[in-house]
Amino acid sequence: MIKPHGSDKLNPPYPMDAAVRARLAEEAKRLPAIVISSAAAANAVMMGSGYFNPLTGFMGKRDALAVSEGMRTAGGLFWPVPILNVVADATPIKGQRRIALKDPNVDGNPVIAIQDVEAIEEFSADEMKLMTQKIFRTEDPKHPGVAAFNSVGRFVISGPIQVLNFSYFDKEFPETFRTAWQIRDEMTKLGWNKVVAFQTRNPMHRAHEELCRMAKDAVNADGILIHMLLGKLKAGDIPADVRDASIRKMVELYFPKNTVLITGYGFDMLYAGPREAVLHAVFRQNAGCSHLIVGRDHAGVGSYYGPFDAQTIFHAEVPKGALEIQIFEADHTAWSKKLNKVVMMRDAPDHKPEDYVMLSGTKVREMLGKGEALPVEFARPEVARILSAYYQAEDAKGK
């Protein structure tokens, strides 16, 4: 199986011994504490899960700026986006060397991690502007990632952490949330060595389903990892539990047994397009995947990125040898009326737009909200029924 990024084996800052975690939880009660942002809590979960290997703590200013500028830490580790614990007010922990980090996403704000404080620094307005532009390729405050990144403050707390739990992810999604090492263990049990990963924050329609098959066949993979984001999304995105149910139904009915692993990870979407696509590749390598499907407008939002910018970055900006995982570059996929199957548009140069079954997101939501059936070429009927029930319930709430 492929090696993790930056080391020979995963080294997550999550004590595997429950007794050790219990002792740390007791210690945390006596430590100065601060409620961190949702983004920082998700970063802690990703480090504790092994997805951000070899990182074991939050970056300081020097690393954050170096990563933003050139996708390498000051020490030379390839990394695509800064991993930060930024707060608006660091006064409660000023002068402290060891602190408790409280989870903003769970009632009562329980401690999610303990951090050894190496430094508390403040980003200048110009430094925030530089990082925003480099990470998101825009400073538009309407971009959801830009808005989130610039809303949490400027004081950055750096230093190693010990993660005590996985926030709400393993409790709310016990069948789906998995750490990187748990996924590796599952793949080993299944005898998988070559695995293609599919990233999603949405339900999967026929085109997505067939894209997974195409990629698996093209690289001769042993299996497919459908890896869904379980964290915070922008308004209007479909909730994780609905996505989970629809994807599970599709795999149950339309994929051979033991060819797909359905899992999820605890992270908040950045909507950072190309840079986030590279981050997706890093943590899929840590989960043991040999290939990642990068499709049209991967991790994008609105019209901030070109349709294939997330593929181009791997050729133009990721240094050769920086990652072991390989990218399967996918074009837009849709049902061809001519060929009576799903195709990648680049493989059908003789097709015109009217030769495909394509629906806008607005049209899909409208049809589902009215309980109308989606074309079977666009969505599996069993999946459409799950989505229709969700949209009709949402429409009922709004009336």
Helices 125-136 & 61-70, crossing angle to 10 degrees? 40
| pLDDT by 10s per residue, the chain, length 399 | 999 999 999 999 999 999 999 999 999 999 999 999 999 999 999 999 999 999 999 999 999 999 999 999 999 999 999 999 999 999 999 999 999 999 999 999 999 999 999 999 999 999 999 999 999 999 999 999 999 999 999 999 999 999 999 999 999 999 999 999 999 999 999 999 999 999 998 888 899 999 999 999 999 999 999 999 998 777 667 888 888 999 999 999 999 999 999 999 999 989 999 999 999 999 999 999 999 999 988 999 989 999 999 999 999 999 999 999 999 999 988 999 999 999 999 999 999 999 999 877 778 878 888 888 888 988 899 999 999 888 888 777 765
Closest to 176 (Cα-Cα) out of 106, 250, 244, 257: 244
111-116 and 98-102: which strand pairing?
antiparallel
Query: Cα Rg for the chain, rounded, in angstroms?
Result: 21
Q: How many CB atoms lie within 10 A of CB 110?
A: 14
Cis peptide before 54 (omega within 30 of 0): yes
- The residues near 377 (Cβ < 8 Å, ≥ 6 apart) are 206, 335, 357
What is the pTM for the complete model shown?
A: 0.94
Could you identify the residue written with the tokens 């629906």? 359
Q: Distances in Å between the alpha carbon of 248 and those of 143, 188, 228, 372?
A: 31, 22, 11, 22
- Which domains are delineated in the chain? 18-170 (3.10.400.10), 174-398 (3.40.50.620)
Neighbour count for residue 222 (Cβ, 10 Å): 17
Q: Which residues are catalytic?
A: 201-202
